[in-house]
Structure formats: structure tokens, C-alpha cells
Amino acid sequence: MKTFTVSLSLITLLLITTTAVFFSSDQAWSDEDGDRSVFWDLSSLKRPGVAPVSNDLYQQECGSCHMAYPPGLLPGASWRNMMETLDNHFGENAELAESTRTELLSYLLKNAAEVSDYRRSQKITRSLAEGEIVDRITSVPYFIRKHDEIPRRFVVDNPKVGSFSQCNACHQNAAKGSFNEDEVSIPGVGYWHD
Ligand code: HEC
Ligand code: HEC
């Protein structure tokens, strides 16, 4: 009788252990980036994507030549540098009246990647080395890692895209702050996944 009880509890223990191992290693538990995460990883509860633009003045002033980039795509230090050199903005003059400039800078800093609770913004921040300041989104290590296998003919040599800066050419819901890879459609190519 005693042996029976012992083996029964042993079997139960084995069952519990295998169940636990099964769940914690379950391949299905990966987030939208395909990054493996275990089921108790609280990051999966964070808001996906980046916060969409919520400032009309910003939308108007910074959305005329390209999409108005959500502030959560770059850290504050990068925005600060950019807003101080608008007279030579990637070869263009994007200067603003001083009052507009300071208002937009304050909007950008309040919503920059490192203060955002959106998951994509946090990945951008984490991918940068301590003290590293990039001058553009497309130079962020996280961005580079996500796009390094896309052939040039789909981007620079594709007249409907032109450059990686045109996020919304491929990411259908970029303006909503969603960059999920399932919502990508490259013009002339369609859905693409490496
Ligand atoms: C006169 C046109 C013009 C205006 C206005 C303008 N930009 Fe740009 N912006 C550009 C060009 C051109 C590039 C470079 C695009 C490329 O390399 O293909 C660029 C690039 C950028 C990038 C880098 C994108 C990347 O490749 O990572 C950011 C961020 C950016 N702009 C933010 C802003 C902000 C913020 C404002 C408003 C203060 C603004 N832009 C206003 C023309 C403009
Ligand atoms: C030429 C089309 C194209 C452009 C332009 C582009 N992307 Fe992408 N992006 C892709 C593709 C394709 C993937 C999926 C890559 C893969 O499957 O590995 C992707 C993946 C991503 C991811 C990761 C998505 C995920 O679910 O893991 C993010 C974030 C992202 N892009 C942001 C941006 C931002 C921000 C810009 C603009 C500065 C941009 N992309 C411009 C095509 C593009």
C-alpha cells in the first residue's frame, strides 16, 4: 500500500513537471516580433506597436514631405538633435518658427521612445548602446535588424518606395503606429517575409 502511494505521488509529480516544462517552452509563446518569450513574461501584456501621432501641429508641419513619424520611433536625444538642425534636415530646409519648433520638440520629448510604454518603442530603446545617439530611425539597430534581408530592388530601386524612410509605403498601418510584419505589403511585391 505504501509503495503504491509513493509511486502515485511520483507519477503526479512527473505530470506536473512535464506540464510546466511543456508550457514554458511552448513555441507558440512568441510575441509579434517572433522573439521567444515564456508565458509569464509580462512584456507580452504591454501595448504593441508605437503610439500613433496625437498632435495636429506636428502632423501638419512634419507630415508634408514624408509620413509624420510617431515620436516613439526615436529616443529624445535624437529628436533634440534633429530639431536643432532643421535648416539642414537631410539636405532639405525644414526650418520652423521658434515657437512652433519648441512646441513640437516638447511634444516629441514627452512621447519619445524611452518614455513610452509601447513595446516597439521599448525595443528601439533597448537596441541602442548606452549613450548611442542615432540621427534617424533607419539607423536604429532594431530597425536594421528587422530590414537587413529585404533586397534593394524592393526599396531603393523600387520607384513606389524610394527609401526605407517611407515606412507607410510598405507598412499599411504605419500611421496607426502598427508595424506588425503580417500587415506589410511591399508595392509591386506584396506580402514579404524573410
Ligand atoms: C521639406 C521637407 C521635409 C520636412 C518639412 C520635414 N522633413 Fe523629415 N525628412 C525629409 C527628407 C528628405 C528626409 C530623408 C528621407 C530619405 O532619406 O529618404 C527626412 C527624414 C526624416 C527622418 C528620418 C527618417 C529615417 O530615414 O529614419 C525623420 C525622423 C524626420 N525626417 C522627421 C521630421 C520631423 C520631426 C519634421 C518636422 C519638424 C520633418 N521631418 C519635416 C524632408 C522633410
Ligand atoms: C520596403 C518596404 C519597407 C519599408 C519602407 C519599411 N519597412 Fe519595416 N518591414 C518591412 C518588412 C518586409 C518587414 C518584415 C521583415 C521580416 O519578415 O523579417 C518589416 C518589419 C518591420 C518591423 C518589425 C515587425 C515585426 O512584426 O517584427 C518594424 C518595427 C518595422 N518594420 C518598422 C519600420 C519603420 C519604422 C519604417 C520606416 C522608418 C519601416 N519599417 C520601413 C518592410 C518595410
Question: Does residue 57 have its Cβ closer than 6 Å to ligand 1?
Answer: no
Using the predicted structure, report yes or no on whether residue 93 has a pLDDT greater than 70: yes
User: Which ligand lies nearest the alpha carbon of 94?
Assistant: 1
Burial class (CB in 10 A: 0-12, 13-18, 19+), 78: buried
User: Which ligand lies nearest the alpha carbon of 88?
Assistant: 1
List the residue whose alpha carbon is closest to atom 5 of ligand 1. Answer: 94
Cβ atoms of residues 74 and 134 within 8 Å: yes
Confidence (pLDDT) at 24: 41
Return the minimum-mean-pLDDT range out of 20-34, 54-68, 156-170. 20-34
Confidence (pLDDT) at 194: 76
Using the predicted structure, report yes or no on whether residue 11 has a pLDDT greater than 80: no
Kindly report, residue by residue over 153-170, the tens digit of the pLDDT.
Answer: 999 999 999 999 999 999
Taking residues 41-54, what's their average pLDDT? Answer: 79
Cell matching residue 63: 507630415
Using the predicted structure, report yes or no on whether residue 30 has a pLDDT greater than 60: no
Pocket test for ligand 1, best of 60, 65, 167 (most atoms within 8 A of CB): 65
Please report the atom of ligand 1 found closest to the CA of residue 162.
Answer: 18
Between the CA of residue 23 and those of 8, 9, 41, 44, what are the distances in Å?
23, 21, 12, 15
Confidence (pLDDT) at 147: 97
List the residue whose alpha carbon is closest to atom 35 of ligand 1. Answer: 62
What percent of the chain lies above the pLDDT cut of 70? 77
Return the minimum-mean-pLDDT range out of 11-20, 48-57, 146-155. 11-20
What percent of the chain lies above the pLDDT cut of 90? 73
Confidence (pLDDT) at 1: 55
Kindly report, residue by residue over 114-137, the tens digit of the pLDDT.
Answer: 999 999 999 999 999 999 999 999
Question: Does residue 169 have its Cβ closer than 6 Å to ligand 2?
Answer: yes
